[in-house]
Amino acid sequence: MLRYVCKRLAAMIPVLLAVTFLMFALSSMSAGDPARVIAEKIYGHPTPEQIDLVRHEQGFDRPFTIRYVSWLRNVCRGDFGESYSSGKPAFTELTRHLPETLKLAATSLILLLLVAVPLGILSSLYENRLLDRIIQGLTFVSVSMPNFWIGLMMLYIFGVKLRLISVIGGTSSSGIPIIAAITFDIGYFGILIRLIRTNLTDVLKKDYIRACRAKGLPSHIVILKHALKNSVTPVVTRGASMAINMLCGSALIETIFSINGIGKTALEAVVSKDTPVLQCFILLLAAVVVVVNLLLDILYSVIDRRIQLT
């Protein structure tokens, strides 16, 4: 196990290097002049000479390779540069909003599992019966509605009409973004319920499940210990991708509910052309993806002992 983890950690290095190079190249070719953005913050209405002075001071007039190597050296020391908007370190500017995103992601993931797993199991156990048809109808509705529309309706109903959440803050009186989390989960409910239903239904038709039933094992033991365990691997894979999106792809939900998380911060950085903050966000996203994939492989081996990590 330790050898496998070390190999995977070593393999992450070229992946992250490739991400840094592509990200730096694309940000360098993007529209807008960062020297002008910085000069406007310093001088208000800068002259061309002042913009050229800022460009020289910041090193934007140096060749691409020199700028990239210098930037990468600073990143390895934990220095992502200063935010063009606030003048504070980009990493600090981003991570101070991280707790709000973690709170939203954790709430969304817990609600998703509490709702989708039981409904997926019930849908499989009552296949092609009334309860299954009702659940399948709900999943069809959930995957058909866009998040931004659901978010606006939730904000109007629970914020404006019922006044259960703050329209500005998007959280309940307890400080937990439950309505925002439900909005985030709506589209995922249908996907996960269908995935659980499909895999569990297939496993329940296997011969070894019939053998377990023939031995007289209780239904809950057959379902939870034998059937569900052997049908959970695809669900874990899909759930991991959902968790990554909840952590790194929350910009739309955070913007609608005015949650000051890293997604909303990154979106504001795109609008204001705050390149250091945006670069820091992309690297954080890439690191989360590679680490979650590593943890996912380890989890596979825990769930299914037949999977050997070499």
65-84 pLDDT tens trace: 888 998 899 888 888 888 88
pLDDT at 168: 63
Helix residue spans in 62-218 (DSSP H):
64-76, 90-95, 98-125, 130-144, 147-154, 178-204, 207-214
Q: Which of 29-38, 61-70, 199-208, 292-301 has the lowest mean pLDDT?
A: 29-38
pLDDT at 56: 82
Is pLDDT above 70 for 310?
Answer: no
Domains of the chain: 18-79 (no CATH), 98-303 (1.10.3720.10)
Pair 248, 292: CB distance under 8 Å: no
* Kind and range of the H or E run holding 54: helix 48-58
For residue range 187-196, list pLDDT tens digits in order: 889 899 999 9
Pair 219, 256: CB distance under 8 Å: no
Dihedral class, residue 62 (left if φ above 0, else alpha if ψ from -120 to 50, else beta)? beta
For residue range 194-217, list pLDDT tens digits in order: 999 988 888 888 888 888 888 888
Pair 251, 184: CB distance under 8 Å: no
Give the chain's mean pLDDT: 83
Surface-to-core class of residue 130, CB atoms within 10 Å of its CB (0-12 exposed, 13-18 middle, 19+ buried):
exposed
Is pLDDT above 80 for 111?
Answer: yes
Q: Tokens 């959930």 — which residue?
A: 142
